[in-house]
Amino acid sequence: MALSNSQYNELMRIYEQRQLDAVHQVQERYERVTQAIPEFAEIDNAISSASIRQARLLLNGETSALADLKQEIHTLSARKKELLKSHGYPAHYLEPHYLCPDCKDTGYIGTNKCHCFKKAIVDLLYTQSNLQEILKSENFSTLSLDYYSRNHIDPVTGRSSLDSMKTALHACHEFVDTFSTDFRNILLYGDTGVGKTFLSNCIAKELIDAAYSVIYFSSKHFFDILAENTFGKKDSDSYDDESPDTNYIYNCDLLIIDDLGTEMANGFTSSQLFACLNERILRRKSTIISTNLALDDIKNIYSERIFSRLSSSYTMLRLTGDDIRIQKKLLNLGGTKDVTS
């Protein structure tokens, strides 16, 4: 579980605000009660006076009158409860109403994170991953092998699209299962529309649900952020606090770069890509890259050293087949294309 200091502080500010809200709500309810029941405030004043007298007696060592004072406070407190009940207020009306009664909106039970705090971590990571909505529909539970044919043979590998997908699916499950112990990276490459991004999203959901920090970028967005950081395209007046900085790109548990090759490739993109991949390898932070480019194209468009990093540090998974989006459209239009034969 990896939260940056800023992420942790952001969550703690939320919990501190919840506690303040609970106190403020009690104050508002108390004002409503005392307006409706003037005697209620008088009793509270009497209890305060009795409590002060009790403290003075304790300081002076006069314990003989303590029992009478305690009984007086008890009687006054009972009268308050009677007044609340007789005026239609619940018995706990003037107690704080916490969103999480278990931790009283502190986020912790003793020294352990409360279940609500663990959920808040996951919710925060979803929000910052750029994947919050898509992962509801793209995950391992919704993945179907029906769109991969046994008869579609890849001329490069001699394997069917179904076999290639099964291999990739196994590798992705293994990536998730060993994420806490093994450092791995994945390059998903091959035909357009065959599930490369879908597999990336499957992995992302599993890891975010396990409270790892995951961030997704399209290739264009990824290089735009690096350009903004390098050339200072954003002025101070237009700075967006929600835009991830390069520090987070280097330090998140999993970085996903989708559709590499769709950006305008040049010397800057090549150098920045190498710097990012190399730094994350040094920090043992996992990366997933998807691309429609062939391996030779990656080598030619970027550089030998980038290809060297990919070939030595990444599991390369090639996917082929017919575009699934087109298959779905054909099926929705009443087509009879058999993709499973």
- The reply to whether 338 falls in a domain is no
Residues 171 and 96 reside in one and the same domain: no
Range of the domain at 323: 130-332
Residues 183 and 266 reside in one and the same domain: yes
- The reply to whether 267 falls in a domain is yes
pLDDT for 336 equals 47
Neighbours of 231 (CB within 10 A): 9
Q: Which helix (H) or strand (E) covers residue 189, if one does?
A: strand 186-190
Given 108, 138, 163, which residue is the final one in a domain?
108
Domain tally, the chain = 2
Residues 309 and 206 reside in one and the same domain: yes
Taking a C-beta distance cutoff of 8 angstroms, is the pair 93, 33 a contact?
A: yes
Residues 256 and 171 reside in one and the same domain: yes
Max Cα separation, the chain? 98
The Cα-based distances of 295 to 89, 156, 307, 317 in angstroms read: 72, 11, 8, 11
Token look-up 């409860």 returns 81
Would you give the distance in Å from CA 225 to the centre of its chain? 20
pLDDT for 129 equals 75
Q: In the chain, which residues have pLDDT < 70?
A: 1-3, 62-65, 232-245, 333-341
pLDDT for 245 equals 56
| Main-chain dihedrals φ then ψ at residue 320, nearest 5 degrees | -135, 170
Residues 171 and 254 reside in one and the same domain: yes
String of DSSP letters for 297-326: HHHHHS-HHHHHHHHHHSEEEEE-SS-HHH
Given 77, 108, 139, which residue is the final one in a domain?
108
Question: How many residues are listed for the chain in this entry?
Answer: 341
Note the pLDDT tens digit of each residue in 82-130. Answer: 999 999 999 889 999 999 999 999 999 999 989 899 888 878 877 777 7
Residue among 166, 108, 201, 203 nearest 319 (CA): 166
pLDDT for 1 equals 44
Token look-up 């007789």 returns 86
| Alpha-carbon gap, residue 213 to 120, rounded angstroms | 13
Residues 78 and 192 reside in one and the same domain: no
Residue 259 corresponds to which tokens in the numbers above?
């559709």
Residue 165 corresponds to which tokens in the numbers above?
């997908």
Bridge partners, 288 (sequence order):
186, 256
pLDDT for 334 equals 57
Residues 61 and 177 reside in one and the same domain: no
Residues 215 and 289 reside in one and the same domain: yes
CA atoms in the 13 A half-sphere facing the CB of 304: 0
pLDDT for 122 equals 76
Note the pLDDT tens digit of each residue in 16-36. Answer: 999 999 999 999 999 999 999
Residues 227 and 91 reside in one and the same domain: no
pLDDT for 258 equals 96
| Alpha-carbon gap, residue 287 to 298, rounded angstroms | 16
